[in-house]
Structures are given as C-alpha cells and as structure tokens.
Amino acid sequence: ILTGSLPQERGGNNSFTHEALTLKYKLDNQFELVFVVGFQKILTLTYVDKLIDDVHKEFRDKYRNEFQQKGALGLLNGTFDFKDDFMRLLRDAEESSKVRAPTVMKTFEQSLKSQKTVKCMIETRGEKPKEKVKNKKNKGSKKDGTEAVAAPSKASAGDKQLSAAGDKEELTKDEILQKNREEFFRRHMKAGEKSRSPKPDTQKEKGKKPRVWDLGNSNAKVLDYSNSATNGSAEAGPVEEFDPDMALGDKNREPGRLYDLEYESDDEAEEEKVVQNPSKPSVKKGGLGGMFGMLKGLVGSKSLTREDMDPVLEKMKDHLIAKNVAAEIAVQLCESVAKKLEGKVMGTFTTVTSTVKQALQEALVQILQPQRRVDVLRDVMDAQRHRRPYVVTFCGVNGVGKSTNLAKISFWLIENGFSVLIAACDTFRAGAVEQLRTHTRRLNALHPPESHGGRTMVQLYEKGYGKDAAGIAMEAISYARNQGFDVVLVDTAGRMQDNAPLMTALAKLIAVNAPDLVLFVGEALVGNEAVDQLVKFNKALADHSMAQTPRLIDGIVLTKFDTIDDKVGAAISMTYITSKPIVFVGTGQTYCDLRSLNAKAVVAALMKA
C-alpha cells in the first residue's frame, strides 16, 4: 500500500487512506529512510505533521554516524533504542496542540453589522456618506486633535440641514452644488480662525549645530595609535581568537605549494568532426557556437580573404568584449588573427572554424606567457646567498585587495621557510596599519615561533599615519637587513592613475628603494579600465623617475578571480598592455586562496561560448 503511494509526494500529497486508516509519511533521501505514522481516519489530529517532522529530525541526528558507517539497512537490521525518545516527542506534540485553543466565531450581536440601523444606510440625493466626510476632515486636521473632532460633527450637522431642506422641496442639481460650496467655505473659514495659535515668544536659533554622537569622542588624540605600537614588533595589539581552519580553507593542500588555476571547459567534449566533402558546408554546431558560425561554409582548397573573414571577426570581437577584454585590445587581437590567416590556403579536410579557433588560442596563450618568467622563490634564495632581503613593492588603485593579497603571499612565503617583514607604507587610509597588524597576529598564530626553532616568521614595521612612505620603506629594508629577514613586502596606499601628486610619490618610493619586484595589483572585474590603469601607472613611473632606465611594473597580481566566472578578459588586457606576467591570482578569502596563472585554463574560459 505504502509503496504505491510514495510517488504522490511529488505532487505535494504525502498521505494515503485505506478503509478506516490514514497513513502519513516523510522521505529522507539522504539516508533512504521512510517515516510513517498511522491513525484512524475519523480522528482529527492536528499534531501529526509536527510529530513526524520531530521524529525524523531526532532519529536522523541521533544515528547519523551509524548511517554513514553501516548504512540504513545495517542499522535497522540491528538493535536500537528509540522508544523513550518517541514517547517524549509524542507528548510534546500533544501538548503543543492543546495550548492553542480553537477560535470561536462571533455572534451577530457582537459584530459591527448589528449596530447599524436602516436609517444610517439610506443615502439622500446630494448628500455625501458620513464616513467619507469624516475621513477627509481627519486627514486635513492632524495638527490639532480637538478641531479634528469638532469639524466632522459640524460637517454632519450641515449635511443634516441639507438633507432636511432636500426633503421639504426638490432642489435642482446646480442649486445643491452651490449650497454645498457655500457650506464648505463657511466651515473652513471658522475652522481656520480657531486653529490659529499665537506665535511662541522664543524664536529658534539660526544656524546648524554640529551633531555629537553618543559613542564619539571630540579628542582626536584618543584615536591616534601611532605611538602605542613598537616598530618591527609582531606583538602589538591584543591576541585575537579566530578559527585556523577558516583561515586556511583547504585542509588537504600541500603546504608551500602554489597550485595552478583550474578551469574545466565544457567545449572539449564537443570537438568538431572533419568535413569529408568540401562541396557541402558543415552544419554541426561547434564549441564556440555563433561566434564561428559564419566560418562554417569556408572549407576546401581556397585562400582566405579579408572579405570572407570580416563578418566573423566582428562577432569574434563582440565575444571577446563580452568576456571583459578591453575593446581596444579585442580589435587588435582580431586584426592579428586576420593578418595571420589572410591568404592562407585551407586544406581539403580542414574547416575554417578549426583553423580560426586554433589561431586565436595560440595568440591568447602567447599573450599570457610572456618571455620573462618571474620565479619568486628562486629570486629569494638568490638574495639569501648575497645576504640581503628580497624586496617586493605592491601598488595599484583603491580597493583592489593589495593588503589582503600581501597577507596571502606572506603566508605562502612562510610555508616555504622564508621570514617576512611587512612594511606598512600606506600612511593615508584609516585602518591600513591595523589591518596589517591583524594579519600579522593571525599569521604568527598559524606559524608560531615554536614551530620554527624560536624564530618569528612574520613581523610588522610601521610608523603610524601621515609619514613619508618612501622613508618608512627605506627604514624597513634597513631593519630587515640587520635582523636577517628574507623578504620585505612593502604595502603602499591605493591611488587613482590620474592623481599626479600620489603617482609622483609612488615613483619616488620605487626610485629611492629600488625593490627587486614591483607588482601591480588589479582586480579581475575591470574591463577597459585595466588598460588605462596600467598605461598611466607605467607612464608615471617613467616620467617621475630620476634614473636613465626607469623602473616599471615587473608583474601583475590578479585579484577577485573567483567573482567573474568565465569573464576572464582582464587577464588578457593586462598582460597585452605590459607584456609582463601575472605572477599571482587571488581566488578567495582564505590565506590558501592564492594560485599561479594557468594560461590554457584562462584561454579555455575565454573561448567558452
């Protein structure tokens, strides 16, 4: 009986009636269980649904571990004690149904309808309903409660006079309207005279007073924490409790390893079939869908011309722009593909679609793999042999995640056995130093000195706010050299590429301290803005540098990559402009969410239709 009724639950019916009995059931698909309760059909039990829900939750939570180890059949074939729990849940369900008393319907005498008379429901011609007039008067006289009560009574009196006059003699429609207008103006003139109140003797003071917040403090010195912290110390501030598992994320990872960026393309299983007959165009839809649809007919032994490819290149450009590639770069990419394919003779068994797709993929992979590869670990070990710290400077616009990804890179370096000194050179943004101090405490909690032979693996060097960033960076590098730190990570303030004074200060910091690596931090969400940012950052570093060979951006940190799905065009735009590699990719909120760029994975996401 029950087996035949189970499919009915998809339609919302989870009960079955057989003769004088009613069965209600609930399915647990996770552990393959069925909970059934039976009762007589004539009984109206309001607590059945609550009972079956409570029993399901209690039973599943109590025997969850046994289910995972033995399975449902293994547990049910054995012995288990659930009788006491069931009786307790049954009593609770019965008590809950008794608490709510059934609602009793009102009698006619108790209702408002019984208080109405036939006379109040009769409407005389030309007379407005009393309730509507009362509502209008209440809306117009909210400021004074006494006048609001008096006005409706006068209105009703006037209406009664009009109705009485209408009973004595028949009035025309125009006469009724005229009388209503006169009565209306007469009432409002009297109400206005009564509602006038004398002006208060004391006038309000003109001018706006500053707001004083309850939790605020007018003394700015109380909020200045610059002098309370010791420079180069990791112990500044109280110890903060946090969950290490939440900070680390993946527990199965290999410590110190920088994993490649992964992306699985759905198009790999839809590779095109080779066209055997050159006279018939291919009609099978390939992996790129409509982007290459117009190239399907161009097969056989013929040379490609620009006229043949122009419509397809237009769709290719739109596809790249939709994937967040900057418009200017999308046009240049299409031009390079067109020049590469123009005049090329196609083989008899080769489709134009596959040829164009292969040419575009090769161009994109070549863009994402510049000639110079940045190997940070190798360079750090080389600096160790020369007994000097390896210096990395982070720069970029506001809000892209410089400090957060600096902390991720610090964690990666610590797991590879290198000690890190963080230089807090963002002396402008409120909370910048405190943010780095929090990261320092957490990193030291994850890698305490006891695990590294008593050596503190990460420290913060800061001088507070409003100081010269270039001077702080120079002092931090000198401190790291004296204390034997392996790496110095310099955090700078975010700045827009159009702000000339701030760009000059950044160029000064880089020119004076000569870091080993200058990383531009950019977010994967940008489109055309990526080109403007990188071009102006490089131009500012070149213009404001005093050296003959100015120091420009060496690499890119691409952040917020987990927020863009397959719109990965910012990676193409940034590497195309600078010809510099993407060294790190930020993919999440934990310290382990740091990846190295996989060019093939990015191209697969970019080519996805």
* pLDDT on residue 4: 43
Q: Tell me, what's the pLDDT at 380?
A: 94
Classify residue 595 by burial, with Cβ atoms within 10 Å: 0-12, 13-18, 19+. buried
- As separate numbers, helices (DSSP H) first and strands (DSSP E) second, the chain gives 19, 11
Q: Write down the pTM of the prediction.
A: 0.57
pLDDT of 22? 85
As a whole number of angstroms, the distance between CA 460 and CA 435 comes to: 11
SS3 412: helix
User: Which residue is it, tokens 């407005």?
Assistant: 128
Bridge-based pairing of strands 487-492 and 594-595 is: unpaired
The pLDDT value recorded for residue 49 is 83
| CA 421/CA 488 separation, integer angstroms | 5
User: pLDDT at position 235, please?
Assistant: 43
Which helix (H) or strand (E) segment holds residue 512: the answer is helix 500-513
458: nearest Cα among 432, 424, 500? 424
Longest CA pairwise span in the chain (Å): 118
Q: Where are the beta strands (DSSP E) in 62-200?
A: none
With a cut of 70, list the residues of the chain below it in pLDDT: 1-14, 29-30, 72, 75, 99-103, 117-171, 190-253, 263-302, 347-353
The residue among 524, 504, 315, 544 whose CA lies nearest residue 405 is 524
Kindly state the helix (H) or strand (E) to which residue 34 belongs, with its residue range: strand 33-40
d(CA 27, CA 32): 7
Q: Are strands 555-559 and 517-523 parallel, antiparallel or unpaired?
A: parallel
CATH architecture of the domain covering 376-601: 3-Layer(aba) Sandwich (3.40)
pLDDT of residue 415: 92
Residues 6+ apart with CB under 8 A from 409: 392, 489, 557, 584, 594
Taking the C-alpha atoms of residue 372 and residue 344, their distance in angstroms, rounded to an integer, is 31
Q: What's the sign of the alpha-carbon dihedral 467, 469, 473, 475?
A: negative
Q: Does domain 1-98 have CATH number 3.30.450.60?
A: yes
